[in-house]
Chain A
Amino acid sequence: MNEARPQIAVHDLVSALERFGGRYEAIDVFANDIVELSQWAATRPLPPHIQAVNAEGTVFVVRHGTQSYRLEIFPAEGVARLSRWLGAAPNQVSSAIAGGALGAAIAAALDKKGGDGWIGGLLLGLLMGAAVGGSGNASTAPHRVFALVFDAAAKDWLPYDGGLLRWMKERLTVQPA
């Protein structure tokens, strides 16, 4: 399979998350679209601003200026989620990190996309917010989201209301454990 080159850097996720202040809690993207994770999967070292927090290699702390963020990958869903790190970010990180979870996440993401080219190289992201109306069962209540597409040439996020809207929402939504 001729895999499309990943083009979303982790700091692009930060810029999308912070674009609306504290309005959204996280941004979800397909795991294989993130440059740093794909490079790490290709056995290159992680850059210094991304450090693994657990030995399973599913949670990372991302340092961006004075802020810390949590980057979590969901191997079964093929999704990577960036959110603000609540509380003090850990200093101790794992030294031996398994890469299996990331490999599984990338494979799941490619599977969801139906192979390279199925979504025409679109780099999609879904900002995730709180429950609409602020009450009710948080897991089943409708949530505030905002669909985005990354313009790799302009290095900017644009709103997305195209034909894959329903598709992307269903595939980028990770059910809470």
Chain B
Amino acid sequence: MPRHRLLASRSPACLHPRPPNFSQARSIRRRRQKDLDNGYEAHHFLVLAPDDELATRGAICEVQIATVAAHLFNELEHDISYKVHGHAVTDDEKRFLRSVLGSTRALDHMVDLLLAERARGEAKQTRLDDASELRVTLERQADRPLTGDFARLFRMLEAILEPLNAAALERLGTFRDIFERGGKLVTELGIDVDDVTCYALGILPDYVDEFAMMAGHWKGPISPLRRAIEQGVAKLRAGVMR
């Protein structure tokens, strides 16, 4: 259940001067209460009170949980329709009540969207721990599987970005823009490369000196990625010289 759905609650069955510690309570039954006729909506829990309070030990309480918006409607509906205070409900009052119901559900929906967006934003701030997480992040941006040496790309990006996370990658540019820039350089160099190399060439113009220094110190046989970076660096530096 989203956090905002826990904002309004009441536990009418438990009347005690000191409220029990419900964080220690055990939920023994949960059901969603939705009345299609009057619009009432809440989650009802039957909970077993914790053992640390003698007065409530063994008590079973019903806790009703609704969003703030739903709680507003539930209270209005309860006072106006359910108990029929004062006078009989008029058609206009019913119409306005339905409008309130629509508005509170729209508000709930907007809050859901807002919190989902917040969750996405927070996820982008999480550090990428390894090459596989980098791969998942880039494939999500590309919306397709990608090929290449992600272990090497991870170390390259880890060396130039702090922190290395999805937000940092987005700040380098959209995957599409970076890939197009890399593809253009690939065409100019007349080489055939995998996706990782194309991506690395796409951000190369912003990191010419760093990538040149890095690639020049990689040990082992010259990989296609290293060859492409060295060719790209030479091309970009020649362009600057002209």
Contacts and interface: CB of A to CB of B under 8 A. Distances in A.
Interface of A: 19-20, 23, 126, 131-133, 136, 140-147, 158-161, 165-166, 169, 173
Interface centre among B155, B168, B171, B209, by most A CB within 10 Å?
B171
B161 interface: yes
Interface residues of B, number: 21
Given A133-B172, A160-B159, A166-B127, 9 more contacts: A126-B162, A132-B168, A132-B171, A140-B125, A141-B171, A143-B161, A147-B159, A158-B213, A158-B217
A161 B163 contact: no
A144 B160 contact: yes
A166 B157 CA distance: 11
A165 B171 contact: no
B134 to A, nearest CB: 13
A147 B172 CA distance: 18
Interface of B: 125, 127, 155-156, 158-165, 167-168, 171-172, 209-210, 213-214, 217
Nearest to B130: A166
Contacts of B210: 20, 146, 159
Contacts of B127: 166
A153 B154 CA distance: 29
A47 B209 CA distance: 33
For A131, A132, A136, A173, which residue has the most chain B Cβ atoms within 10 angstroms?
A132
A133 to B, nearest CB: 4
A29 to B, nearest CB: 15
Contacts of B156: 161
B163 A142 contact: yes
B158 A159 contact: no
Contacts of B159: 145-147, 159-161, 165
